[in-house]
């Protein structure tokens, strides 16, 4: 496996207008998002070699360029955005500047590392099952997945359209707010926090070292905000079900079915060369028993509606972004079903996916020198409130 | 131009399970929606010849099959779903059984005519800018576009993902409710109508014959429901702007930009043979000044949020589905910018698209023997209420 330390697939300098609300900012673009005249390679060589150049910028890229930001290049990613490690069998592993021996996380790996390394001010990524939130946490930066459907995905290669979102990374909450507000066409919405709901399963199911690292965070939050504990059982009503894993059991059949519907015909007909882990991922998607779909879709809607009833317009839901610090490079094995790292990551990422909720991961702790983020989620459509409130939370943690 | 009278591109008999909530129903599938093992041709021969067979059923097809419904075939459509007439230069014009000399409307033309002719009990279609609501109105049947993002579009060829939806046609509200409830994973939600908002511009900007035909409908509605008039100006706040056209001015730049981002690279690289009207449509999409995007996206969010504040959870918005009866076949010319039929259709269709609102068109009047539907719209996510309330409205009109 090549060991690239570079965030960028292709550097460039692209500026559309000199003035605008983002004119002081540079940015990078994940290689699943169109830049006119360039092939969107989706981080796989056979895809890149069999697809024509993009006819136009993706809508989200156009928004940033028209706001005056300068695009400095396209970034590496997990193949076809179907992965969470950042280890690409063809293009290597972008260096995680916060923890150089650890994976950056994916699939928006290069976008996260470019921001973390200070190479750009912000970066566009996509998040289906954690592809912004996880690398933001691993690299010690801010990352946001917006409410589903609010930022245009036109010109963005689809993976699982029921969960696909476009979002961004930045090193501080202020830049993230400027970029996401522009993409979402929203203004600032300062508001006092109603309740900060601490998700029991989100803390309990983290590794002991992560739980310990979050103890002072919880103390600080309790001193500053109206904190309350809550359990997923009050949302899903599943008696006896196993914590977060229950949400993965609802999320994964839908995600795999959608991925196979989206990319299966290309995989079957083009027979591309895939990295070993990616190949195994597509075998899982292909092998899914699609008779599971109706029950999973019904549970998804049940959970989504229950989350919508539970989370008030001034509430946040809160838990560690990931259960464990970023794994050592090369340690993850080839099969996501071996070991429990990927299933445990996906389980907590599934909450926002199922609920269509916006989620921010912001830098919070380090565990033996490796960053782990704090995640904040708001009600669907309350992205403006989340962006404002997250900065208040970050300020309280920094004090 | 060939003059096919057939709804079906390819008949088939596909049944997955014998029992289920839709086991008594047959259905058809628009040829932009995947059926495993068949090429999804998108109603264009060059597309069909250059794309591999679908690896799996689209999620929405899987839902219907797992519910016991039997699929009887794939239906004709406007090329690449980018059209509203139902006149396909390669496959002909599916016969509108309610008005055989008129176009059925598109782009889900064959799905509408198959239902109207009684060939199937329901049909799946897609609706980006009116592609279910218009043919439902033209063919004298029920059709529904759901809230955006609530029914999976995985396995459905994208056109403009910010507006794309999967929906259905049926000959009665009861079957439509069963099918859409299954796809949406919702139950019935009977509720008394709060307010039935009559959209002034929707009535005023219809042709005189349509306005006249709707007079007894309005009288009946006023006798049965708490009707109130409202103007789009109370939503968009655009002083002096020109009625519905203002909404088209917001909708169209986004739709065209998204279409070009989605299909432009294929059009440019494959250089497919397109029907004359489709070719002109893509020229418009290619030629769009994308600098218009930021302002259009900002207005879209402004209008969406204002609609969300305005429409209460038990309210409906109401207006004729179309300003004019279905045009005579062959009368529409090749350029959608010539004449005002397409712009006027798109303008009123843009309300649900911009607002992400669910909309049902149900049979209401005929104008010199040609059907025109009544449209009902509910707040975003209130699809269950809309399905229940629309049947109450239809019952009142039938009394």
- Is there a single domain that holds both residue A173 and residue A217? no
Helix (H, G, I), strand (E, B) or coil at A225: coil
- Cβ-count burial of B399 within 10 angstroms (0-12 exposed, 13-18 middle, 19+ buried)? exposed
Mean pLDDT of chain A: 96
- Whether A338 and A385 map to the same domain: the answer is yes
End-to-end CA distance of chain B: 43
Asked if A52 and B265 come within 8 Å (Cβ–Cβ), the reply is yes
Reduce the DSSP state of residue B26 to 3 states and report it: strand
Q: Active-site residue B30, yes or no?
A: yes
Q: Read off the CATH number of the domain in which A391 is found.
A: 3.90.1300.10
Contact A154 B66 (CB under 8 A): no
Choice among A7, A108, A131, A147 that is catalytic: A131
CB atoms within 10 A of CB A173: 22
Joined together, the tokens standing for residue B104 give: 């059925």
Which is it for strands B316-320 and B359-367: parallel, antiparallel or unpaired?
Answer: unpaired
> What span, in angstroms and rounded, lies between the C-alpha atoms of B102 and B93?
10
- Pairwise CA distance, residues A76 & A54, whole Å: 17
A110 and A257 share a domain? no
Average pLDDT over residues A221-232: 97
Are A69 and A178 members of one domain?
A: yes
Is residue B75 within 8 A of residue B8, CB to CB? The reply is yes
Residue A190 forms part of a structural domain: no
Can you tell me the mean pLDDT for A221-233?
Answer: 96
The neighbour count for residue B306, using CB atoms within 10 Å, is 17
Buried b (16+ CB within 10 A) or exposed e, A25-36: bbbbbbbbbbbb
Spacing of C-alpha B55 from chain mean position: 27
Look at strands A70-75 and B370-377 and give their pairing: unpaired
* Closest partner CB to B265 (pick from A55, A66, A154): A55
CA distance B193 to chain A (A): 22
Cα separation of A294 and B167, whole Å?
A: 17
Pairing of strands B316-320, B196-199: parallel
Q: Helix or strand or coil: residue B22?
A: coil
Q: Are residues A158 and A211 in the same domain?
A: no
CB contact under 8 A, B155 and A62: no
Tell me what the pLDDT averaged over chain B comes to. Answer: 96
> Among all residues of chain A, which has the CA nearest to that of B270?
A52
pLDDT at B394 over 90: yes
B145 Cα distance to chain centroid: 6
Contact B161 A184 (CB under 8 A): no
Of A7, A26, A85, A107, the catalytic one is A107
Residue A2 reports pLDDT greater than 70: no
Q: Taking CB atoms and an 8 Å cutoff, what residues of chain B touch A356?
A: 149
Give, for A281, the enclosing helix (H) or strand (E).
helix A276-287
Same domain? For A154 and A47 the reply is: yes
Residues A70 and A205 in one domain: no
**Distance (Å) from the alpha carbon of B280 to chain A's nearest alpha carbon:** 17
Q: What is the DSSP string of A69-102?
A: -EEEEEE--SGGG--SS--BTTTB----TTSTTB
Q: Please report whether residue A272 resides in a domain.
A: yes
Percent of chain A residues topping a pLDDT of 90: 92
**B144-173: average pLDDT:** 98
Closest CA to A322 of A375, A359, A369, A392: A375
- Mark yes or no for CB contact A58/B257 under 8 Å: no
Top pLDDT among B253 and B243 is at B253
B171 domain-assigned? yes
Active site residue A234: no
8 Å CB contact between A126 and A30:
yes
Which residues of B are less than 8 Å from A186 in CB distance? 301
* Sheet with A142-145, edge to edge strand ranges: A8-14, A70-75, A26-30, A122-127, A165-170, A142-145, A359-367, A370-377, A316-320, A196-199, A227-230
Boundary-marking domain end, from A184, A213, A243: A184
Contacts of B183 (CB under 8 A, 6+ apart): B60, B63, B64, B146, B151, B166, B168
Distance from CA of A57 to the nearest CA of B (A): 7
Q: What is the distance in angstroms between the Cα of B77 and the nearest Cα belonging to chain A?
A: 21
Q: What is the DSSP letter of B308?
A: H
pLDDT of B2 reads 56
Whether B266 and A290 lie within 8 Å, measured CB to CB? no
A158 and A237: one domain?
no
Q: Is the pLDDT of residue B105 over 90?
A: yes
Q: Are residues A88 and A158 in the same domain?
A: yes
> Contact B193/B225 with Cβ under 8 angstroms?
yes
Residue B67: its chain A contacts at CB < 8 A?
294
* pLDDT, position A97: 97
**One domain for residues A64 and A125:** yes
Q: Is the pLDDT of residue B399 over 90?
A: no
* Residues of chain B with C-beta less than 8 angstroms from the C-beta of A152: 161-162, 254, 258, 297
User: For residue B120, what is the DSSP state?
Assistant: S
CA distance A157 to chain B (A): 9
| Residue in B29, B57, B59, B158 to test binding to A, most A beta-carbons within 10 Å | B59
Do the Cβ atoms of B301 and A254 come within 8 Å?
A: no
Number of domains in chain B: 1
The pLDDT value given to residue B4? 60
* Helix A173-184, helix A383-398: angle, nearest 10: 180
The whole-angstrom separation of Cα B217 and Cα B319 is 11
pLDDT at B1 over 60: no
Facing residue for A59 by CB, picked from B149, B158, B258:
B258
C-alpha span between B383 and B187 (Å, rounded) = 10
- State the Cα–Cα distance between residues B275 and A275, nearest whole angstrom: 41
Q: Are residues A162 and A257 in the same domain?
A: no
Out of A184, A211, A232, pick the residue that ends a domain: A184
| Domain contains B319 | no
From A58, A254, A266, residue closest to B261, measured CB to CB: A58
pLDDT reading at A298 higher than 60: yes
Place B242 in a pLDDT band, splitting at 50, 70 and 90. confident
Host H or E run for residue A203: helix A200-204
pLDDT > 80? residue A239: no
For residues B18-39, average pLDDT = 98
Last residue of a domain, one of A156, A184, A212: A184
Residue B13 is among the residues annotated as catalytic for this protein: no
**Four-residue CA torsion sign, A279, A281, A282, A287:** positive
Show Cβ contacts of residue B287 under 8 Å, excluding neighbours closer than 6 positions.
none
Please calculate the CA angle A193-A197-A200 and round it to the nearest 5 degrees: 160
Chain B residues close to A14, C-beta within 8 Å? none
For the stretch B301-357, pLDDT in tens is 999 999 999 999 999 999 999 999 999 999 998 766 668 999 999 999 999 999 999
CB pair distance less than 8 Å for B185 and A67:
no
- Cβ distance A293 to B52 less than 8 Å, yes or no, reads no
> What are A333-348's pLDDT values in tens digits?
776 666 899 999 999 9
Interchain CB distance below 8 Å, A260 and B149: no
In a domain, A191, yes or no: no
Closest partner CB to B185 (pick from A56, A269, A298)? A298
What integer pLDDT is reported at residue B196 of this predicted model? 98
Q: How far apart are CA A342 and CA A338, in angstroms?
A: 9
Do B253 and B293 meet the contact criterion of CB atoms below 8 Å apart? yes
Tally Cβ neighbours within 10 Å of residue B223: 10
SS3 A249: helix
Q: In which domain, by residue range, is A205 found?
A: 196-398
Task: Name the token pair of B8.
Answer: 């079906």
Q: Chain B contacts of A295, Cβ < 8 Å?
A: none
Same domain assignment for residues A153 and A200 = no
H helix intervals, chain B: 45-50, 59-66, 109-116, 133-139, 173-184, 200-204, 208-224, 233-236, 245-270, 276-287, 293-310, 341-355, 383-398
- Interface touch B258/A160, C-beta < 8 Å: no
In angstroms and rounded to an integer, the radius of gyration of the C-alpha atoms of chain B is 19
Residue B310, judged by CB atoms within 10 A of its CB (0-12, 13-18, 19+), counts as middle
Any domain includes A92: yes
| Cross-chain residue pair B149–A155, CB shorter than 8 Å | no
Residue B335: predicted pLDDT: 65
**What is the rounded average pLDDT of the residues A16-43?**
97
Instruction: Identify the burial level of A224 via C-beta atoms within 10 angstroms of its C-beta, where 0-12 means exposed, 13-18 middle and 19 or more buried.
Output: middle
Give per-residue pLDDT as tens, B254-310.
999 999 999 999 999 999 999 999 999 999 999 999 999 999 999 999 999 999 999
pLDDT (average), residues B175-201: 95
Examine residue A112 and state whether it is found in any structural domain, yes or no: yes
Residues of chain B with Cβ-Cβ distance to A184 below 8 Å are 301
Alpha-carbon dihedral A150, A151, A153, A155, rounded to 10 degrees:
150
**Interchain contact, B154 vs A148, CB within 8 Å:** no
* Cβ-Cβ contacts under 8 Å for B222 (sequence gap 6 or more): none
Task: Provide the sign of the torsion angle of the four alpha carbons B270, B275, B280, B284, taken in this order.
Answer: negative
- Return the SS3 of B218: helix
pLDDT score, position B333:
80
Could you write out the three-class secondary structure of B321-332? CCCCCCCECCCC
Q: Please give the structure tokens belonging to residue B325.
A: 């009866």
- Probe site for chain A from B36, B48, B150, B152 (most A CB atoms < 10 A): B152
Chain A CB contacts of B297 under 8 Å are 59, 63, 152, 185
Q: Which chain B residues are closer than 8 Å to A158 by Cβ?
A: 158, 161
CB-nearest partner of A154 from B67, B161, B266 = B161
Residues 6+ apart with CB under 8 A from A49: none
In whole angstroms, give the CA distance from residue A92 to residue A170. Answer: 23
Residue A3 lies in a domain: no
A265 interaction partners in chain B (CB closer than 8 Å): 34, 51-55
Interchain pair B261, A302: CB under 8 A: no
């Amino acid at each position: 496996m090549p060991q690239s330390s570079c965030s960028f697939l292709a550097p460039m300098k692209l500026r559309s207008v000199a003035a605008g609300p983002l004119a002081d900012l540079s940015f990078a673009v994940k290689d699943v998002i169109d830049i006119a005249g360039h092939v969107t390679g989706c981080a796989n060589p056979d895809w890149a070699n069999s697809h024509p150049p993009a006819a136009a910028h993706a809508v989200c890229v156009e928004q940033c360029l028209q706001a005056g930001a300068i695009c400095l290049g396209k970034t590496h990613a997990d193949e076809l955005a179907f992965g969470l490690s950042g280890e690409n069998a063809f293009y290597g592993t972008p260096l995680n500047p916060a923890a150089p021996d650890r994976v950056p996380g994916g699939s928006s790996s290069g976008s996260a590392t470019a921001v973390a390394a200070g190479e750009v001010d912000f970066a566009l990524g996509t998040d289906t099952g954690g592809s912004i939130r996880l690398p933001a946490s691993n690299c010690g930066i801010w990352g946001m997945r917006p409410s589903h459907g609010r930022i245009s995905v036109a010109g963005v290669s689809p993976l699982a359209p029921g969960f696909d979102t476009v979002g961004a990374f930045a090193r501080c909450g202020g830049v993230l707010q400027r970029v996401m507000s522009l993409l979402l066409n929203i203004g600032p919405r300062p508001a006092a926090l109603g309740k900060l709901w601490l998700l029991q399963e989100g803390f309990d199911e983290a590794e002991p070292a992560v739980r310990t690292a979050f103890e002072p965070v919880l103390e600080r939050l309790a001193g500053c905000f109206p904190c309350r504990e809550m359990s997923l059982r009050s949302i899903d009503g599943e008696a006896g079900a196993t914590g977060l894993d229950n949400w993965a059991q609802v999320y994964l059949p839908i995600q795999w079915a959608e991925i196979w519907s989206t990319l299966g015909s290309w995989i079957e007909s083009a027979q591309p060369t895939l990295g070993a882990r990616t190949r195994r991922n597509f075998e899982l998607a292909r092998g899914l028993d699609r008779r599971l779909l109706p029950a999973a879709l019904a549970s998804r809607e049940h959970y989504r509606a229950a989350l919508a009833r539970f989370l008030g317009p001034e509430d946040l839901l809160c838990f560690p972004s990931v259960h464990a610090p970023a794994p050592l490079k090369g340690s993850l094995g080839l099969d996501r079903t071996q070991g429990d790292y990927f299933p445990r990551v996906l389980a907590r990422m599934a909450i926002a996916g199922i609920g269509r909720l916006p989620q921010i991961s912001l830098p919070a702790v380090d565990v033996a020198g490796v960053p782990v983020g704090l995640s904040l989620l708001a009600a669907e459509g309350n992205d403006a409130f989340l962006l404002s409130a997250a900065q208040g939370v970050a300020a309280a943690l920094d004090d």
